[in-house]
Structure 1
Amino acid sequence: MDIDDNEGDDTKDGGGDMISEDNERLQRIRADLVSLTGGKIGGTIGDWELVSIEPVTHLSVRAGYGAARKLSFMQSDVAAILKYDLYISGDFCELCINDHKIQGNTVKDIVSRTSQDGGLSLLYQLISLRPCFGSFGPEVVETVSQALELSGQDSKYHFTVDTNFIGTSSQGRTYAGTVRSLDCVFLAQSRVADRCTACTKLDSLVINRSLLSGEAGIQLANSDSETETGKVNTSKPSHQSVWKLDTTDEQGCSFLCPQVQTFNCSLPHAFDGSAQATTVVHHRVEISDTLKVKLELCGKLVTRDFPQFAADHQLGPLLDRVAGLRLCVGYPAHRLMKQARYILNHVGRMIPEMRKLFKHYSVDEDFVYRIGGEEEIGTIRSTKCKIESEVGSDICAACRTLQQPIEFQ
């Protein structure tokens, strides 16, 4: 009995020593980090800034600043805008990426490996961690948002929309929100990957943003995350659509598909991640009795050829292709738009040389969108707007030129 009691005491003492050792390690790292920042709030170590010292030492990297901007391997022109937060006290060490706590032993293992090398090594290892991007394509996010809204509190889906995620493209597109598996660990499965293992299954989702019915949710519920061989399908999400026959007569017929499109309405030089807006885009396709195709987005004619339809006359692929097009939203920033309206209303008072600067744009009063629950009207477009946006963007090439300086000629 005496031997058993002593053995139990030794085990208990060993556990206490282990806890004490961990606490001492964290205290050394904590003191080292405070020292490296000069012991002052606002002090920096590389990209990290000291936010607080007591009772919890907090260091943070501003969103998208320095190494907190991570390029995607799947889309090389897209970068995630991330925010890293490190919290250390005497008995815990936590890392949050975009306000998501990193679970598991990842952070603990890094602390153990770098404890002898000091706080600088720890910060380098933590900011080198690659986040899980999820599935950030706007069409996928719009589809899943609709499906979750339709299902309400009784959602049966194994994924959700993370609104904290923000990405930017070299083409000027903003990716606000991403779709994540409910099992997402928020870290990529390797240093050369974009996703965790759970989120790789999201490629099986079917894009369907139509407002005509709840079929978007049905498509998602029936989508399978595995192929017939049992392996995860890593191809891009497929695109399907729901259309209604709008008109028909001896001269032809027309099909209509209203869809949700989300975009960021802040200006490129003054990006605001919370300025997410939503508009309903009416896709209309008219097919004449001679099988000629006429396409409109929100009542505006789009000039585009469909050689595949001309060759095989297959209606389904044509409608899915059209449903994948996005409307050019121009520049709907409310304050700038009010200024543009005023200038155009008084352009006759300007001298001829000044008029040349303002003849390249117009205000589209038919464009309607919602932001923060409020309905807004109007956007600034180039007079040569293509109506259809560029691939990977929410504006067309003509409207993009409004960002460039205009020379007097």
Structure 2
Amino acid sequence: MAAETPLLTGFACRDGRESLVFGERADGTMAHISEVTSGLECNCVCPGCGTRLVARKGNKQDHHFGHHGVEDGRPCQAGPETALHKFAKEVLARRLELELPPLVDGAGPGKWVGYPGGTYGFDAALLENRLGEIVPDVIVRKGERHLLVEFLVTHACDEAKIARIVAMDMAAIEIDLSGLPRDTSRPDLEEAILATAPRKWLHNPKLREAQAERERRGGERDLVLARAATPLRRAYVAACAEVRAMRTSCLAYDRIVGRHLAHAVGIEVPGIGCFTVPPRDWQALILADAVDIAASGGKGLITTAGALWKIRQRGWLRRRFSGLTEAEAAAVRVDGTPFDHPANAVATWATTLSRLGILLPAGAGDRWIVWQLTAGQMRGPQTSKRL
């Protein structure tokens, strides 16, 4: 059996041929195949070409309309799509309501909500009314405002048409009917068009205006942030110069030297100004216990959280810099100043030791262990007692 395509008005019959399930009555209304009698007594014509239709409601094929007098009864090319548009227009004109998707810009508590989503009432509906260079499937009107409604049956609205809609700055949505089962009843089809089928905004002037306002406010916020960052950047640069000039005072450094790993500490990484001691001290503090454990045959584990806990316990973090937001940090870095948060400074240093063959990654970027081959080379006399 040929694969069946779940089209709304042009289903595939059991033999794979496209079929028509809507015909047009003499009064211009649309008739579903389930609503008419068999044969020519259906009194319907093709919505696309006007050919008289015959209702085929036997037991061998899915019920459908055929073109009377046409070999094998195949529908014309325009029939199924035209039927869909006329049926949608008929439904919208009669009900004059449509479920609209939420109109939202951004995320989180500060997001802009222009419309929360829900059923919206209209005054009128127009079918295939030309607007400039485009012919929307359906136009619904509320007062002086218009909403273009596009239906996705086999192909989504293309980029060229969307670009024209955007250039016209008119609100438009697309309703996706491509996933409907081919045996969808008329009532379910109506509800799909009006409410249940997936739908999204193709364009909305309010959303464009909200995005422009967000960008404007963002630009103003960035300007304020940049001005505030200037003294912050100067203070950070001064802090970096201060820690570079400090002498080592951490006894853990002596233990590192005793393990022949002096080259593993004192590595300058972005963020050193966030600490109140030079890199040699806080790096030795983190590494000393791990290498001692590894040298004795244990698992010398280093984690970002554990390292920062040790550093905080000794009061080695500058509050002014360690609590900056990412936006503030980016403003400090804007001229190339090598700023980073303390956690990232620790991770960058540990990653450097991984490249040197001293540590091995042991987690999702925040855990490392002392490499056992290195640990075997670290056994030697301790030159100072442990902190």
TM-score (norm. length: structure 2): 0.23
Q: Which has the larger radius of gyration?
A: 2
Higher helix share: 2
Q: Which has the higher contact order (CA 8 A, sep 6+)?
A: 2
